[in-house]
Amino acid sequence: MDNRRDFLKKSLLTLGAAGLGTSLASAIDFSTGAKAKLSINKGDVILFQGDSITDAGRNKQNLKPNDGNAFGNGYAFMAASTLLNKYADKDIKVYNRGISGNRVPDLINRWQEDALDIKPNILSIMIGVNDFWRTMDSGAKNTPAEYKAQYKQLLDSTKSALPNVKLIIIEPFGVKNVKHVTDAWFPEFPKYQNVAKEIAQEYGAIFLPYQQIFDQGLKRNSDGGYWTTDGVHTTMAGANLMAEAWLNLIK
């Protein structure tokens, strides 16, 4: 019964992200990265990678594609569900390998098994908020320049192993004045966001500007707690906002 309730809850959450090409696209400037949208082809393998925002409570013992239990309840689940419905004739496989707390060095350490061995045609990476956040709450030492060097190492190995992979580089975001995200995050955090943008440009990736997307969301509901629980992790509304924006990258 609990599994059935969980399934029904996720199914209802996904309905709001079910439309490709929604009005959000007209409100967001995607020109900060590659302008071309992605096509979904027969047999494509799509991989969502990142930290807790992508993880979203997934069952890490379940490594299957196209399985709700392996996706958690965040934006990756909502986007993947819509893709599997919209492209039912394409026989695609969609994976989630986000892990809570990860930084770029964590991705590097597990990249072979959790990315390269999967051989994705489309690879979506959302990483960076912890690379900055740990400098605030744990005294970690990691400058924007170091973050960029580590990110480049990750993508160099990716392009070497998967030269034709289509990359989506996602901007880390923070909604101000919600629990953890205070004025103390600024102006340092935007430097990490700029790195993600620069990385996308340098590697010919599509850049997904989630900071701008959440800023637009705040114009519709100015309560940051409506979109996130702590300035970073999303509510139902925030996860749906993210999924909608991700799906707008697809033709």
The pLDDT score that the predictor gives to residue 137 is 76
Radius of gyration of the chain (CA): 17
Average pLDDT over the chain reads: 90
Model confidence at 28, pLDDT cuts 50, 70, 90, reads: low
Of 44, 52, 55, 124, the active-site residue reads 52
Model confidence at 66, pLDDT cuts 50, 70, 90, reads: very high
Compute the distance between CA of residue 231 and CA of residue 133 in angstroms, rounded to an integer. Answer: 12
Model confidence at 63, pLDDT cuts 50, 70, 90, reads: very high
Task: Calculate the CA dihedral of residues 132, 46, 59, 85 and round it to 10 degrees.
Answer: 120
User: Per mean pLDDT, which range of 27-41, 58-72, 87-101, 211-225 is the poorest?
Assistant: 27-41
Of 44, 114, 180, 233, the active-site residue reads 233
The pLDDT score that the predictor gives to residue 154 is 98
Task: Calculate the CA dihedral of residues 80, 171, 156, 122 and round it to 10 degrees.
Answer: 20
The pLDDT score that the predictor gives to residue 24 is 52
Compute the distance between CA of residue 22 and CA of residue 220 in angstroms, rounded to an integer. Answer: 16
The pLDDT score that the predictor gives to residue 40 is 97
Domain spans of the chain? 2-247
Higher-confidence residue of 117 and 30: namely 117
161-214 pLDDT tens trace: 999 999 999 999 999 989 999 999 999 999 999 999 999 999 999 999 999 999
Model confidence at 7, pLDDT cuts 50, 70, 90, reads: very low
CATH topology of domain 2-247: Rossmann fold (3.40.50)
Task: Decide if 152 contacts 193 (C-beta within 8 A).
Answer: no
Q: Is 233 a catalytic residue?
A: yes
Q: Is 180 a catalytic residue?
A: no
86-127 pLDDT tens trace: 999 999 999 999 999 999 999 999 999 999 999 999 999 999
Across 10-35, b (16+ Cβ under 10 Å) vs e yields beebbebbeebeeebeeebebebbbe
The pLDDT score that the predictor gives to residue 31 is 41
The pLDDT score that the predictor gives to residue 19 is 52
pTM above 0.85, yes or no: yes
User: Per mean pLDDT, which range of 125-139, 147-161, 193-207 is the poorest?
Assistant: 125-139
Compute the distance between CA of residue 132 and CA of residue 141 in angstroms, rounded to an integer. Answer: 9
How confident is the model over 11-28, as a mean pLDDT?
49
Tokens 């992605």, residue located: 38
